[in-house]
Amino acid sequence: MKVFQYPLLCVLLLLTISCVYTDLNRDHYLLSPDESLSFTFHVDQQNISYSLKKDGNTLIDQSQLGILADQFEFADNLQIKNVSRSRKNKTWTQVWGEQKQITDHHNELAIHVTSNSHNIQMIIRFRLFNDGLGFRYEIPEQKELNEFKILDEITEFNFSEDATSWWIPAYSYRRFEFLYANTLISQISRDTYSKLVENLNGPRLGPEAVHTPFTVQRNDGICIAIHEANLTNYSSMTLKANGTRKMECDLIPWSDGTKVYTKVPFQSPWRTIMVGNNPAELTMSTLTLNLNEPNQLTNTDWIEPGKYIGIWWEMIGTNQSTWGSGPHHGAKTEKVKEYIDFGSKHGFKGVLVEGWNTGWDVNWCCSGDGEAFDFSHNHPDFDTKEITEYARKKNIRIIGHHETGGQIQNYESQLDSAFSYANRNDIRVIKTGYVNDVSQNIKRIGSDGKIYKEWHHGQYMVEHFRKVIEKAAQYQVSLVPHEPIKDTGIRRTYPNILSREGAKGQEFNGFMSTKDNNKPNHTTILPFTRLLSSPMDYTPGIFNIKEYRYHSPDNRTVNEYHHIPSTIAKELALYIVLYAPVQMAADLPTNYEGHPAFQFILDVPTDWEKTVVLNGEIGKYISTARKDINSDDWYLGSITNENERELNINLSFLDADITYKATIYKDPNNGGWKSKPEEVVIETIVVKKDDIYTASLMPGGGHAIRFSPL
Ligand code: NOJ
Ligand code: CA
């Protein structure tokens, strides 16, 4: 070869090549825009990994990255081929939300790698915001690859401290509907959960793992939550625990063990690490939304945040009515018209009606049956035409309900007829439901005609939930799924997914006795865990807190083992603390009519200009202030766990130069969830921005305030 005639040139060339090579195959660094967070990407023969620091303190120690697929492995023996950087600082506007404007300010690092053992290319993209880190794996289109199966994702989250954490178990029968356990990371297991919170009966399927958002608080107060953003065509990430402070990504598998079926071009969801100096700051993170794609819906005029009432609590709570046929069937035309009258008189946007359709009379709950559900045929008691016309006249809409019993193929075969029925009958919002206890119980008939049982949160269901969102949008319908897949910020891309359940909600206070219902601290944990991901259809607003439930619709004597661990003032504060663009006034109209505290429910908005979380300790208390999007009103909600406390609240969030009338709804002295929960003190004072307000919260109680300019 001619080149060897020029040895010096040859040496120089080799040096240059090796310089470029060694230059790229080294650590790469990234700083957040405010330089508080610093990130390191590391590669060596053994693995690729990352670590994260805040103000010089390590939050996440070296943690492995990688993907194992049927046709390739990206884990070790990798070469960095290219490194690119970019930055963004742009503000965008939400269709609805906790705040109108969101700023996407981040620095990006993209590492392009190939493996020494195959020719396939992958990019790992990191985005560092002031409130945390997001990263994902991308496999671009390339000759060698088309369809492939992911067998494992080896993303680790190696916490530098065995910190205290709040978690719910994955692979357990009631999906996300659990109270939270609070233990060190190293103590996470189903046995621990069974000891501390609730006995997890049933077969132990799947690994020891927790759902996300998974929240920890370090000794220095810093809070970290692991979650994911833009979960699309992939399976839900849980975090596997192994008795140490290291968590590993665990993808919920298909029934054949494959984690994900996919093809190029491929992008995994973003793995997210939200960081806040304290719990309140953590809740303000906008990282998840910033890592989702912009709104895909060109016209959003039909998407309506607002409040609703419904034929619901009388089944699930007071036990006086039934979903299915019979003398106590709730969804009867006359009853629906009464709810329409009440809702319309008080300016509600919607009336939810459950049990309006056919299919409830078989034993659908909770073994995964529900094939009889028909989503465009009304129960004979429910006169669709008459009700639609009546609601139209009264300027209110019916909120539809699709309980599927987890029968996905039955539901998918009816999506067009179901949503066109809704569209024809002025229904703009539908609550869906997937009650199907025992989580790996979603029936799927494969192309081979055989029955397979899928997990509630695997790829099959992720794709199903997306299909429904897209189909609903075609018919201008918005959704509030119960028993959903967790939100990962998809509401940015499809703002017709308004809210969802996906946690232990008020319903458990309905059908569970005091021993097993939600504890007073549950709602003081939700804002720092489940609500980090999205709005929640918790359905607050129960005023009849004691002696509300009958033994059965036939036996209308009071079952005194049911007592909700809340107070009326706390129920009001939940409208502020637990954000949802559609909020239910969940109690019966008779418990609201003429009640002075009902005014707060009528006043409180569901779409906000701004939100400020003022204080909070996870599992203890929180105060949240929000400004109405349509006026200069501010609202403040504070709640506490089982302990009484005083909170000194700095009103500096209020607008300058405005004097406000503050209408306060609070627990009476010596009140609380056990004593006088149904008493609420209402008083008004005059306040300004520079005032400090002291809120006295009674055990299990709360405090709600409307500030309106004078
Ligand atoms: C469970 C849901 O969470 C609840 O709201 C609904 O009423 C029942 N399923 C029946 O669909
Ligand atoms: Ca539920």
250 and 339 belong to one structural domain: no
DSSP state letters, 333-386 = HHHHHHHHHHHHHTT-SEEEESS-EE-TTS--TTTT--TT-EEEEE-TTS-HHH
Torsion on CA atoms 522, 524, 528, 532, rounded to nearest 10 = 70
CA 662 to chain CA mean position, Å: 31
Residue 6 pLDDT level (bands cut at 50, 70, 90): low
Choosing from 311, 315, 316, 542 the residue with most ligand 1 atoms within 8 A of its CB, the one to mutate for a pocket test is 316
CA distance 378 to 625: 42
Residues whose beta carbon lies within 6 Å of some atom of ligand 1: 312, 316, 354, 403, 433, 435, 482, 501, 507
Q: Is 230 left (phi over 0), alpha (psi -120 to 50) or beta?
A: left
| Atom number in ligand 1 closest to CA 315 | 7
Choosing from 175, 356, 399, 507 the residue with most ligand 1 atoms within 8 A of its CB, the one to mutate for a pocket test is 507
Residue 29 CA to ligand 1 centre (angstroms):
48
Q: Answer yes or no: is 692 within a domain.
A: yes
195 and 88 belong to one structural domain: yes
Q: Any idea what DSSP says for residue 79?
A: E
- Mean pLDDT for 152-180 is 96
Strands (E), 434-569: 442-445, 451-454, 478-481
Choosing from 312, 403, 429, 512 the residue with most ligand 1 atoms within 8 A of its CB, the one to mutate for a pocket test is 403
Determine the pLDDT at residue 396: 98
Residue 18 pLDDT level (bands cut at 50, 70, 90): very low
H helical segments located in 7-138: 7-24
CATH number for 350: 3.20.20.70
Interval 219-267: pLDDT, tens: 999 999 999 999 999 999 999 999 999 999 999 999 999 999 999 999 9
Residue 632 CA to ligand 2 centre (angstroms):
35
302 and 201 belong to one structural domain: no
Q: Give the number of the ligand closest to the Cα of residue 399.
A: 1
Choosing from 404, 482, 500, 501 the residue with most ligand 1 atoms within 8 A of its CB, the one to mutate for a pocket test is 482
Question: Lowest-confidence range among 189-203, 235-249, 463-477?
Answer: 189-203
Residue 537 CA to ligand 2 centre (angstroms):
10
Specify the amino acid at residue 82. Answer: N
257 and 308 belong to one structural domain: no
Determine the pLDDT at residue 439: 78
> Among 128, 175, 163, which Cα is nearest to 456's?
175
Specify the amino acid at residue 695. Answer: A
CA distance 321 to 354: 11
447 and 528 belong to one structural domain: no
Beta bridge partners of 87: 107
Choose the final residue of a domain: 269, 290, 311.
290
Determine the pLDDT at residue 436: 87
- Mean pLDDT for 50-65 is 98
Determine the pLDDT at residue 22: 54
Interval 642-662: pLDDT, tens: 999 999 999 999 999 999 999
- Helices and strands, number each (H, E), in the chain: 15, 40
In 39-63, which positions are buried (b, 16+ CB within 10 angstroms) versus exposed (e)? bebbbeeebbbbbbbbeeebbbbeb
| Atom number in ligand 1 closest to CA 482 | 3
Number of domains in the chain: 3
Residue 3 CA to ligand 1 centre (angstroms):
76
Q: Answer yes or no: is 554 within a domain.
A: no
**Cα separation values, 249 from 44, 152, 245, 351, Å:** 21, 9, 13, 41
80 and 206 belong to one structural domain: yes
Residue 394 CA to ligand 2 centre (angstroms):
30
> Among 411, 268, 427, which Cα is nearest to 352's?
427
Q: Give the number of the ligand closest to the Cα of residue 403.
A: 1
Q: Answer yes or no: is 701 within a domain.
A: yes
Three-class SS of 570-620? HHHHHHHHCCCCEEECCCCHHHHCCCCCHHHHHHCCCCEEEEEEEEEECCC
- Mean pLDDT for 109-120 is 92
Q: Which residue's CA is minimally distant from atom 2 of ligand 1?
A: 482
Choose the final residue of a domain: 290, 314, 343.
290
Q: Answer yes or no: is 14 within a domain.
A: no
Q: Answer yes or no: is 284 within a domain.
A: yes
Choosing from 312, 354, 456 the residue with most ligand 1 atoms within 8 A of its CB, the one to mutate for a pocket test is 354
Residue 243, domain extent = 21-290
CA distance 226 to 212: 6
Q: Give the number of the ligand closest to the Cα of residue 433.
A: 1
| Atom number in ligand 1 closest to CA 431 | 5
**Cα separation values, 510 from 321, 502, 670, Å:** 13, 17, 25
285 and 309 belong to one structural domain: no
Answer whether 56's CB lies under 8 Å from 92's CB.
Answer: no
389 and 461 belong to one structural domain: yes
Q: Which residue's CA is minimally distant from atom 3 of ligand 1?
A: 482
Residue 336 CA to ligand 1 centre (angstroms):
18
| Atom number in ligand 1 closest to CA 505 | 3
- Mean pLDDT for 622-628 is 98
H helical segments located in 96-196: 190-196
Q: What is the residue-averaged pLDDT of the chain?
A: 95
In this predicted structure, the answer to whether residue 19 has a pLDDT above a threshold of 60 is no
531 and 656 belong to one structural domain: yes
- Mean pLDDT for 184-199 is 97
150 and 39 belong to one structural domain: yes
Q: Give the number of the ligand closest to the Cα of residue 584.
A: 1
Q: Which two tokens stand for residue 119?
A: 């020719």
198 is catalytic: no
Q: Which residue's CA is minimally distant from atom 11 of ligand 1?
A: 403
Q: Answer yes or no: is 427 within a domain.
A: yes
Residue 483 CA to ligand 2 centre (angstroms):
5
CA distance 206 to 637: 39
Name the one residue in this structure whose structure tokens are 């006043």.
Answer: 603
CA distance 150 to 469: 25
209-210 and 237-241 beta bridge pairing: antiparallel
CA 511 to chain CA mean position, Å: 23
Interval 494-536: pLDDT, tens: 999 999 999 999 999 999 999 989 999 999 999 999 999 989 9
Determine the pLDDT at residue 15: 43
In this predicted structure, the answer to whether residue 118 has a pLDDT above a threshold of 60 is yes
Question: Lowest-confidence range among 69-83, 479-493, 573-587?
Answer: 69-83
Q: Which residue's CA is minimally distant from atom 6 of ligand 1?
A: 433
Q: Answer yes or no: is 256 within a domain.
A: yes
CATH number for 146: 2.70.98.10
Residue 200 CA to ligand 2 centre (angstroms):
17
| Atom number in ligand 1 closest to CA 401 | 11
In this predicted structure, the answer to whether residue 16 has a pLDDT above a threshold of 50 is no
| Atom number in ligand 1 closest to CA 323 | 10
CA distance 194 to 167: 13
Choose the final residue of a domain: 251, 266, 290.
290
**Helix crossing, 333-345 with 384-393: angle to 10°?**
10
Q: Which residue's CA is minimally distant from atom 10 of ligand 1?
A: 403
Residue 505 CA to ligand 2 centre (angstroms):
7
In this predicted structure, the answer to whether residue 4 has a pLDDT above a threshold of 80 is no
497 and 520 belong to one structural domain: no
- Mean pLDDT for 359-369 is 87
Q: Answer yes or no: is 510 within a domain.
A: no
Answer whether 477's CB lies under 8 Å from 427's CB.
Answer: yes
Quick check: pTM over 0.85?
yes
Q: Catalytic residue, from 304, 507, 571, 609: name it.
A: 507
307 and 232 belong to one structural domain: no
| Atom number in ligand 1 closest to CA 483 | 3
